[in-house]
Amino acid sequence: MKQTVAKLIDTTLCIGCKACEVACQEWNDQEFSQGVFHNSYQTMPDLAAHFWNLIKFHEVEKPAGPVWLMAKYQCMHCADAGCLRACPAPGAIIQRENGIIDFVEENCIGCGYCITGCPFDVPRLSPRTNKVYKCSLCSDRVAVGLSPACIKACPTSCLTFGSRADLKFLAEKRAEELRAEGFSAAGVYDGPGVGGTNVLYVLKYADEPELYGLPKDPKIPWTVRLWKGPLKWVGNTIFFGGILAAIVHYLKVGPKEAHEDD
């Protein structure tokens, strides 16, 4: 079996240079996106269909004074992916052997269910093509042994690419270091509620991921689970059971008597 690949984001080393954003746009040949200035060190207000990688910027008041928190935001490549569960079009969302969740444009029907299924609010529907897009973890680069474009561009080693097991080990070590430096809440964020994400974060304030714009306890929505689980069984039982019951009834009991010539 292939190793699961992952990306480690050590937010404590991010300087907010946006090199990763540019590299992502370049490699994936994205159409030009006009930046928006809204009194923040953030290029864009949000992810977009053709903007897959955003450094979120948050200014937070802490007892020791104000802190700047930068966190790269993109698809988390969940082991148990909500988008994949919700998708009705076979082959539109695939989970590769190395753990990458890839959207396949030609199979996408533009229903937007993946947007609802995603606990991280990542996929975006393009009004122009009516298809959904997101970070592919540069699956085309990874397939030929290269690291993703964002990783390649990062000047501070905030971003690391490798096997998930290795990076998890590194991340835990780094968190330990931070705790030793006095950041008692430092820790690793990797979404246990979705079977683990293949994007790992080291956070100084791991007890408050919301400060970074990350969901506190990401989980596949229960309505999606109920719909794709029990409801599907109940529904199929009713469809096929109903048809079967009609056949049995017709053969055993048959039609009511006709009164054609009364």
Residues that bind other proteins (CB under 8 A): 86, 88-90, 92, 107, 109-113, 115-117, 121, 125, 127, 130, 221, 223-224, 226-227, 231-232, 234-236, 238-239, 242-243, 246, 249-250, 253, 255-262
- Residue pair 77/134 in contact by the 8 Å Cβ criterion: no
Question: Can you read off the two tokens belonging to residue 20?
Answer: 């990763």
C-alpha distances (whole Å) from 59 to each of 18, 38, 64, 212 are 17, 14, 13, 9
Nearer to other proteins, 41 or 240 (CB): 240
Residue 99 DSSP code = S
CB of 110 to other proteins, least distance (A): 6
Cα dihedral sign for 168, 91, 132, 82?
Answer: negative
Nearer to other proteins, 202 or 224 (CB): 224
CB of 250 to other proteins, least distance (A): 6
Nearer to other proteins, 67 or 246 (CB): 246
Nearer to other proteins, 113 or 133 (CB): 113
Task: Give strand ranges (E) for 134-232.
Answer: 159-163, 187-189, 199-203
Using CA atoms, how far apart are residues 261 and 229, in angstroms rounded to an integer? 52
CB of 246 to other proteins, least distance (A): 4
One-letter amino acid at 4 equals: T
CB of 243 to other proteins, least distance (A): 6
